[in-house]
Amino acid sequence: MSSQAIGTILVLAVLGGGGYFGYRTWFAGEEVPVTPTPRVEAPSPEAPKFEPRVVKSGFAADEKLVPREDRFELPDGTWALALNGVKNAGKLEWPRDRPYAPIVERVLQKDGVERYKHADGSFSWTQLQFRADLGRMDSVTVLANPTKALPMLPEEIEANTKR
């Protein structure tokens, strides 16, 4: 017997058996018991928790060693390294009604941005920002001073509770 004939017989046998089984299941109303396979969950490796990287050290940039494009001026006349790959950052503008607080830490935060933390809890940093008036990315120096929360108007409270 040739291998082609054996192959044909096997195919017919498989199709015939499948047809018989399908006929008995559909038309005879017999239920085929299904045993569920127990689900085994593989232990997931614990995702490492993000720990902000904090550096506590001197933050003044020496004017003789660090090129001007790699640093920015602080309100007390000293210089600090520009952060986040920024070149030619502007001077840090500090509010006149608030005494300048020196830098105490350099922090890499979860969003990937490096920031300087000041003694009063303020944060300052340099970053690139798209400027529509220039039509390109430009360096900016950002300051975030902590303030007390302002009270909300009654209609604002109501709108927030309806969300």
* Residue % of the chain over a pLDDT of 90: 46
Strands (E), the chain: 53-55, 71-73, 79-81, 103-108, 114-118, 123-131, 136-144
Distance in angstroms (rounded) separating the CA atoms of residues 12 and 153 = 80
Long-range contacts: 36-45, Cβ < 8 Å, 24+? none
pLDDT, tens digit, for every residue of 20-65? Answer: 555 555 555 566 666 777 777 776 677 666 676 777 777 888 888 9
**Structure confidence at residue 141 (pLDDT):** 94
Q: Name the amino acid, one letter, at 10.
A: L
Give me the pLDDT at residue 63, please. Answer: 84
Tokens of 60: 């003044």
pTM: 0.60
**How far is C-alpha 140 from the chain's CA centre?**
22
Measured CA to CA, the distance from residue 17 to residue 81 in angstroms comes to: 78
| Per-residue pLDDT tens digits for 142-155 | 999 998 888 889 88
Q: What is the DSSP letter of 69?
A: G
Query: pLDDT band at residue 159, thresholds of 50, 70 and 90?
Result: confident
- pLDDT for res 125: 95
How many of the other CB atoms lie within 10 Å of CB of 61? 20
